[in-house]
Amino acid sequence: MVDSAKLPLGLRFVSETPVPGLRVAERRVEQPLASIICVHGGLDRGGSFARLARRSEHFDVIAYDRRGYQGSRDLRPLDLTHHIDDLVALAKVESRRGPVILFGHSFGGVIALGAAIRETELVDLVITYESPLPWILHRPSSRPPLSSDGAVEAERFFRRMVSNSAWERLNEREREARRLDGPALISDLTSLHDGPRPFDLSQLRARFVYLFGDGIIADYYEALCTQLVSLNPNFACRQLDGAPHGAHLSNPDQLESTIEEIWGELCASR
């Protein structure tokens, strides 16, 4: 059931979701080849996939605000296990319609991989974009120590990952919305560095393609991909020329065509 609230460029919020309190949006097409469930990264929201959704003529697209963020801000706890629970619940619903593709941006890719490993029969394809996998290959960081203040950390993160000028262009309401997502952001940033590896990627049975851009740390992503491909014959990597970290916002046509191409290759190989 769909309510009347619209997100930009075609996504629509749904009023019934498999996880009470989880804010979910979708864009449906006639005779979809598969459903793409999009999982956002830190300090983001489901609506950021609207540009990708509008360009996906052959796939249903489902996007959602992860627990602790935006429309799902009241959901707790914020640990990785519960993020995976939410995604598995969405994938179970979509699997009744047909094949399921998980697309995870940044930290969202970690959640997508965890869900696909846990529920091997639900997911046909996992695609991630520049997702942090520090237990596979550590990436040195000059990031300052995390603040315990979520609002402070949210502003720092936005300024670092987007730009100072973009933060200054936000109105106060938009800035406050980001600050309120600070606790969820801190949970994301600490979850991969406290304790053992979250899961064993060699157990993944679905096809997995790791995407990355050609930015200043492309060499790191190339080295990470070498490690990934050695882990599992189902793994592959692709570089998107001219794509920055926020490729789903800046390069939606390129990203959509890449996902469609990967899906076509998978279907042809079966």
Q: What is the DSSP string of 80-129?
A: HHHHHHHHHHHHHHHHTTS-EEEEEETHHHHHHHHHHHH-TTT-SEEEEE
CA neighbor of 49 nearest in space, from 31, 66, 32: 66
Residue 1 confidence (pLDDT) above 80: no
Query: Rounded mean pLDDT of the chain?
Result: 92
Reported confidence tier of residue 5, pLDDT bands at 50, 70, 90: very low
10-14, 69-73, 133-137: least confident range: 10-14
∠ CA 160-126-75, nearest 5°, is: 60
Reported confidence tier of residue 3, pLDDT bands at 50, 70, 90: very low
Q: Do 101 and 124 meet the contact criterion of CB atoms below 8 Å apart?
A: yes
pLDDT digits (tens, 9 = 90+) for 188-223: 999 887 667 899 999 999 999 999 999 889 999 999
Q: How far apart, in Å, are the Cα atoms of 24 and each of 42, 118, 254?
A: 17, 22, 24
Domain 2-140+202-269 has CATH 3.40.50.1820: yes
Three-state secondary structure call for residue 62? strand
* Greatest alpha-carbon span in the chain: 52
Q: Do 36 and 56 meet the contact criterion of CB atoms below 8 Å apart?
A: yes
DSSP letter for each residue of 238-265: EEETT--TTHHHH-HHHHHHHHHHHHHH
Residue 234 confidence (pLDDT) above 90: no
Question: What tokens were used for 255?
Answer: 């990203």
What local confidence, expressed as pLDDT, does residue 148 receive?
85
CA neighbor of 115 nearest in space, from 69, 83, 79: 83
Environment class of residue 259 by beta-carbon count within 10 Å: exposed (0-12), middle (13-18) or buried (19+)? buried
pLDDT digits (tens, 9 = 90+) for 165-191: 999 999 999 999 999 999 999 999 998
Q: In what order do the strands lie in the sheet with 12-14?
A: 2-6, 12-14, 24-27, 59-64, 34-39, 100-105, 125-129, 207-213, 235-240
Q: Give percent above pLDDT 90 in the chain.
A: 84
Enter the pTM of the model. Answer: 0.94
